[in-house]
């Protein structure tokens, strides 16, 4: 039972997790779009396996170590959606490619191209390459059509690369005032304009949980790469309510350990559980049961719970708190406790925890 667990503990509601995986897969199937979930959210072999069994075409990873840790899920096709730039990665890249049917890598700008070229040459690999296009986040990706044309020409002329398509990450959709459908349409318009300047037949691979379901219904999208959808968090259920609250699959089980003054309860989960990420309105976490219990302040081992219902709490009470941003919270945990109602049904290792190299 969850009441017997030591706290803090990360709880995953198995039924909700399954429903989230199935809903995204159904949306992709209905739109005829491939789903390549980004595994950086869960970093768990068991969840990657569930995504593959539900029909995912492949997985995305951010780093080689993440991909290596998740190989036991049986994945055969992987996209490493990051600017791989270190020639020292060559032996590991080679070994990873040898264990897969398809390994796709990212080329994220003209500045990145020579580093990727050197890496592939040292590794002795010729790989499919997705070119990153910036659609407004301002992180990786070519900024305009002219840069895209120049980079595409270099990729096409390079004996170790094959231009496989274009990818985007609409991270700015989390804070946009536009509806998700409008964000999806706008990002796709920007990516299509770049693509059409190169070759209208090149596949488009957008990727973000805010826009994924909308993207999957738009003609011309080849694959989507959402990650956060698998659990949800405050960014997807509160800031950007694209996910119903009742679908939230991960919470931090925490115990009230002090009531030092009226209106304030202290729980035993702080930034070492939730990370320091906040919603734009400053929340680190909120009550899964929708009471007015809000965490706006954290120290390493303490969460400061305030809100109209805080005075109803007593030392020893247990809360399930939804993190603002679930991905870094999972990366801080050794394992996830899998629950069905109040029953503990499994414990899954966060196999790729800390795999950032």
Ligand X SMILES: Cc1ncc(COP(=O)(O)O)c(C=O)c1O
Nearer to ligand X, 139 or 290 (CB): 139
Least separation in angstroms between residue 86's CB and ligand X is: 18
Least separation in angstroms between residue 111's CB and ligand X is: 17
Nearest 5°: phi and psi at 287?
Answer: -70, 130
Residues 6+ apart with CB under 8 A from 290: 245
Alpha carbon distance 76, 129 (integer Å) = 17
Angle made by CA atoms 311, 314, 315, in degrees to the nearest 5? 135
Alpha carbon distance 75, 45 (integer Å) = 10
- Chain length of the chain: 357
DSSP states along 107-146: E--TTTHHHHHHHHHHHT--EEEEEEB-SSS-SSSB-SHH
Alpha carbon distance 219, 192 (integer Å) = 11
Alpha carbon distance 237, 210 (integer Å) = 10
CB neighbours of residue 71 within 10 Å: 17
Nearer to ligand X, 168 or 255 (CB): 168
Least separation in angstroms between residue 135's CB and ligand X is: 12
Least separation in angstroms between residue 292's CB and ligand X is: 27
Least separation in angstroms between residue 277's CB and ligand X is: 12
Buried-exposed string 143-177: b where 16+ CB fall within 10 A, e elsewhere: eeeebbeebbebbeebebbebbbbbbbbbbbbebe
Q: Which residues bind ligand X (CB under 6 A)?
A: 38, 60, 81, 169, 171, 207-209, 225-229
Least separation in angstroms between residue 255's CB and ligand X is: 29
Nearer to ligand X, 135 or 228 (CB): 228
Nearer to ligand X, 207 or 307 (CB): 207
Nearer to ligand X, 175 or 340 (CB): 175
Least separation in angstroms between residue 209's CB and ligand X is: 3
Nearer to ligand X, 105 or 305 (CB): 105
Token representation of residue 179: 């509806």
Nearer to ligand X, 229 or 304 (CB): 229
């Amino acid at each position: 039972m969850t009441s017997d667990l030591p706290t803090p503990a990360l709880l995953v509601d198995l039924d909700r997790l399954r429903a989230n995986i199935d809903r995204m897969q159904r949306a992709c199937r209905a739109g005829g779009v491939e789903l390549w979930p980004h595994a950086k959210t869960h970093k768990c072999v068991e969840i990657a396996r569930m995504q593959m069994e539900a029909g995912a075409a492949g997985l995305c990873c951010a780093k080689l170590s993440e991909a290596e840790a998740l190989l036991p899920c049986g994945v055969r096709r992987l996209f490493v959606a990051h600017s791989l730039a270190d020639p020292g990665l060559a032996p590991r890249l080679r070994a990873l490619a040898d264990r897969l049917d398809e390994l796709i890598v990212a080329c994220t700008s003209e500045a990145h191209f020579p580093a990727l070229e050197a890496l592939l040459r040292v590794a002795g690999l010729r790989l499919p390459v997705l070119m990153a296009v910036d659609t407004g986040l301002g992180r990786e990706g070519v900024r305009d059509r002219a840069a895209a044309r120049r980079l595409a020409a270099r990729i096409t002329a390079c004996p170790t690369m094959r231009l496989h398509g274009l990818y985007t990450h609409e991270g700015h959709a989390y804070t946009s005032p536009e509806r998700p459908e409008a964000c999806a349409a706008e990002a796709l318009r920007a990516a299509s304009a770049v693509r059409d300047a190169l070759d209208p037949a090149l596949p488009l691979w957008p990727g973000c949980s805010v826009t994924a379901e909308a993207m999957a219904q738009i003609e011309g999208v080849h694959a989507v790469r959402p990650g956060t959808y698998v659990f949800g968090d405050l960014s997807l259920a509160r800031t950007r309510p694209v996910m119903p609250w009742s679908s939230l699959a991960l919470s931090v089980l925490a115990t009230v350990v002090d009531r030092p003054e009226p209106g304030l309860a202290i729980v035993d989960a702080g930034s070492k559980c939730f990370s320091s990420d906040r919603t734009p309105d400053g929340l680190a976490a909120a009550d899964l049961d929708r009471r007015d219990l809000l965490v706006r302040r954290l120290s390493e081992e303490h969460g400061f719970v305030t809100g109209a219902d805080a005075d109803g709490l007593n030392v020893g009470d247990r809360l399930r708190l939804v993190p603002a941003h679930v991905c870094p919270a999972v990366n801080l945990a050794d394992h996830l406790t899998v629950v069905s109602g109040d029953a503990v049904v499994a414990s899954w290792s966060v196999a790729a925890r800390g795999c950032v190299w």
